[in-house]
Structure 1
Amino acid sequence: MSDLPRTSAPYFPPHRQASEFHGFAAECRRLSPAVLWHLFNRPFSRLRHDAEDRRVAERFRKIEMARRPTSADVCIIGAFSAKNGLSRAARYELDRIAAVHPFATKIDVTDQVGTLSLAAYAAERRDDPPAIVIFLMQPNLIWKHLRNVAPSFLRDSYRICLAVWELPYFPAHWKYIDEVFHEYWTPTSFSAEALRLGSTRDVTVVPHPVKIARSGSQRIARREGAPFKGLAVMDLSTCPDRKNPWAHIEAWQKAFGDHPGATLTMKVRFSRRTAPIRRELLDMIGQSKAITLLEAEMTDAEMVALQEQHDVCLSLHRSEGFGLGICEMLEMGKPAVATAWSGNIEFMARYPHAYPVEYKLVPYRDYLRRYPGYRGHWAEADTDHAARCLRVIAAQWADRSSMNWQVERDRLIA
């Protein structure tokens, strides 16, 4: 295999700059019928959802308690079998809670065939509600699962909700949760500060217990004859602007251009509304064989296998509540190059092979208006700095050197 490029200049200029896909002109190009209908209908849909949330919150209004019960009678409710990052995080939490409460009842609201259904369990416990109920899902998703459940199910229960939020403001569509829950858990201080802006409940920071068996040392193991491989995982079905896929392509092209010895896999998910983003990414990639889009649903085992096959994690997001994929690859001993802002920076400091990328704060802008009411800022990663980090990591991979991660990383971020 030919040597990877080591210079500060890209091997060849990017097909198109990431900046071309931001701003008013880019948003106008994305106004498909599906997007226009979404933008028109969103305010009315939000009003309908708020009305439903208010009705459910009124039915399940909690009884104030001085402290959390010490009883072992615990019910854990979550979307454990779904194939997404939130469900993977819920499964980590389930393992942690089950270790403390081995006899807890576990209810998977996404699997009504192989597990006990919430409705059946609630009917069974109508006159004997569990002492503690823990919801391992976002608050705005809980209401639809409680619609067909009698309020007596939660009558005397202490209710905990695991919530994670990716921007520094309290989401308006969560405003009824204080009426239902006694306590919130969240994985980062970044997310906790957002929750505290709109909640009077206790908010406890409980980092996700990500534990993955490492395949070797924290140095990269070069696979003979294989290219240096990067992995970027992102759900682009609801807010592509937050995940910022354009910056990933630009950074990789600045680092390696179209060199065959360095390839980037972007595992992505699109929706009908975000189909224009897929076309933009393909346009940016052009004829290059160095970057590919992977659109596939994966189990946990398949996801771990994909991560094991790659040498570095790339995440140039604009904001993250936690950053589960980053943490998973760091736990594997794989280096991660990620924006040095929001929830992920809290755990990255623990890993000598984590490379925080410089950024500047820019005004929030999102063509799908995912976060109504937000007028603040989020981060724009410096793709030049990200490219320098990638080249340093690739050089160690190619040389099989024993470079000290901490020293080299500190030099880059000084």
Structure 2
Amino acid sequence: MASSPLIRTARLAARPVARAVRRHILPRVLPTVRHPFPEQVRNVRVVGLLSSSSGLGESARLCIESLTQAGCTVSTANVAPLFDSDDGVAYPQRVSGPPADVAIYHLNPTMLLPSILRAGLPQHLRTYSIGYWAWELETLPPEWVEALRFVDAVMVPSRFCQEAVQAYTSKPVVVVPHPVGRPSADGGAVSRPSDARFRVVSIFNLGSSFLRKNPLAAIAAFRAAFGESDETELVLKISDGARYPIERDRIHAAIAGARNIRLIDAVWDRAELQALLASADVYLSLHRSEGFGLTLAEAALQGIPVVATNWSGSTDICPPDLCYPVDHALVPFSDPHPAYAGLRRARWAEPDTEHAALQLRRVRSDPGEARARAAALRAWLTGYLAQHDYRGALREIAARMPADGAPAAPEAVARS
């Protein structure tokens, strides 16, 4: 839940110290243990930002749902308060039960070691541990490489992520997309406008890197496509604006009072977000990089046409012939977000806003083609997600274990 200004100020002041402890002390004092893969997996522990409104939080909750539906007994450990990310989002709270056969740490590696301590070091030391990591670039920061020592395997949501992580380890790295189900919005917070304007929607969390999500490009593309036409509307749904006021102010400055661009800064539940998606004529994501693209998948499963940067993990769920891909140039990466500390030799995409504007106009000018393409994407994505699940990923990890069941050989780091 939101904390008081005094507490938030104290936490901000303590962050540099906490970051130094996390990066330089914990990796040296926490023990590493290699585990054989269990003979059977019935009980799974999920550790993550379970009450957070972020994509990390939602993906962890989806993991819990998927494993439960697959017949596993799932216990949970919520570490969102540890990272000032507790938004009060509901999740299945199962803190006790039989000992876990496998633990899935559904959070970024920068959060792994503090989360191990918070969730219980003794349990970690006796349990086969899997990191679920969503990464957006082709190279890893030093802290991510260091974290590989503390897990037995890694799950990732896309082939793009898999290639990036596998380059640094001989441990199993397997793909399991976020198990996004077909939504069923019940009422919802956002209805269609009475004037039936052509609505463009984009959803993101400011804590996921303002530059990576690239909302200023979305505003520029919308304005290039439609100007200030009252027959069109761009809805930017964000969260965490209070934590990132500078970035939120930059969005307001780019909107510059335009009457056909609306900014919503609030924490919504899944039904409310689904209702917003259902009201859209097109979903727009001009990201510079994505590990997966959770809201893109949710829009596609709603049957909403998608206009998206044609690069990184999102291409797994948005094949270019089934969406409206946006051209881009690959440029040197630059982002002061602390998640990327120490990263070198990276690149990401700079989407072409003029091409994005052209794609938006295509969707509006030919709604029949847009609906057909969206229906084809929904059918394809439904099948793709059905073929990949956590049970299958666990079987793949088991298949990659040595014949004698011993842990894999020490990892060979391919890049520094």
1:151 deviates by 3.7
- The one-letter amino acid paired with 1:102 is C
Task: Look up the match of 1:172.
Answer: 142
1:78 deviates by 2.8
Task: Look up the match of 2:68.
Answer: 98
Deviations 1:341-394 (A, max 9, x none): 100011111873x21100011111224465122332110111111111111111
Cα separation, 2, equivalents of 1:103 and 1:280: 45
Paired residues of 1:57 and 1:176 also in contact (CA < 8 A): no
Cα separation, 2, equivalents of 1:295 and 1:226: 23
Task: Look up the match of 2:34.
Answer: 63
Task: Look up the match of 2:405.
Answer: none
Paired residues of 1:214 and 1:333 also in contact (CA < 8 A): no
1:187 to 153, 157, 163: 157
Greater C-alpha radius of gyration: 1
Cα separation, 2, equivalents of 1:71 and 1:329: 33
Task: Look up the match of 2:27.
Answer: 54
Cα separation, 1, equivalents of 2:150 and 2:375: 49
2:373 to 405, 408, 412: 405
Cα separation, 1, equivalents of 2:253 and 2:234: 16
Deviations 1:158-185 (A, max 9, x none): 2122111111111211233333211110
Task: Look up the match of 1:359.
Answer: 328
- The one-letter amino acid paired with 1:79 is L
Deviations 1:89-124 (A, max 9, x none): 122222221122333334444489997676xx4xx8
1:209 deviates by 1.6
Cα separation, 2, equivalents of 1:393 and 1:408: 15
1:308 and 2:281 correspond = no
1:297 and 2:270 correspond = no
Aligned residues: percent identity? 29
1:263 deviates by 0.4
Task: Look up the match of 2:293.
Answer: 323
Which deviates more, 202-211 or 105-114?
Answer: 105-114
Q: 1:54 to 1:192 in 2, by over 3 A?
A: same
Alignment map for 1:60-209 (pairs within 5 Å): 61-65=32-36, 67-110=37-80, 121=96, 129-148=99-118, 151-209=121-179
- The one-letter amino acid paired with 1:51 is H
Q: Secondary structure of the equivalent of 1:225? A: coil
1:206 deviates by 0.8
Cα separation, 2, equivalents of 1:192 and 1:348: 17
Task: Look up the match of 1:349.
Answer: 319
1:379 and 2:376 correspond = no
Paired residues of 2:277 and 2:299 also in contact (CA < 8 A): yes
Paired residues of 1:188 and 1:206 also in contact (CA < 8 A): yes
Cα separation, 1, equivalents of 2:34 and 2:336: 41
Instruction: Note the residue ranges of structure 1 that are not aligned, 5 or more in a row.
Output: 1-37, 216-221, 410-414
Q: 1:134 to 1:368 in 2, by over 3 A?
A: closer
Cα separation, 2, equivalents of 1:107 and 1:163: 17
Cα separation, 2, equivalents of 1:49 and 1:392: 48
Q: 1:174 to 1:110 in 2, by over 3 A?
A: same
Q: 1:351 to 1:298 in 2, by over 3 A?
A: farther
Cα separation, 2, equivalents of 1:178 and 1:246: 35
Paired residues of 1:236 and 1:270 also in contact (CA < 8 A): yes
Cα separation, 2, equivalents of 1:223 and 1:116: 38
Paired residues of 1:184 and 1:203 also in contact (CA < 8 A): yes
Instruction: Note the residue ranges of structure 2 that are not aligned, 5 or more in a row.
Output: 1-11, 186-191, 378-416
Paired residues of 2:47 and 2:119 also in contact (CA < 8 A): no
Paired residues of 2:104 and 2:129 also in contact (CA < 8 A): yes
Which deviates more, 275-284 or 185-194?
Answer: 275-284
Aligned length: 353
- The one-letter amino acid paired with 1:338 is A
Paired residues of 2:303 and 2:375 also in contact (CA < 8 A): no
Paired residues of 2:183 and 2:274 also in contact (CA < 8 A): no
Paired residues of 1:170 and 1:197 also in contact (CA < 8 A): no
1:202 deviates by 0.7
Q: 1:325 to 1:101 in 2, by over 3 A?
A: same
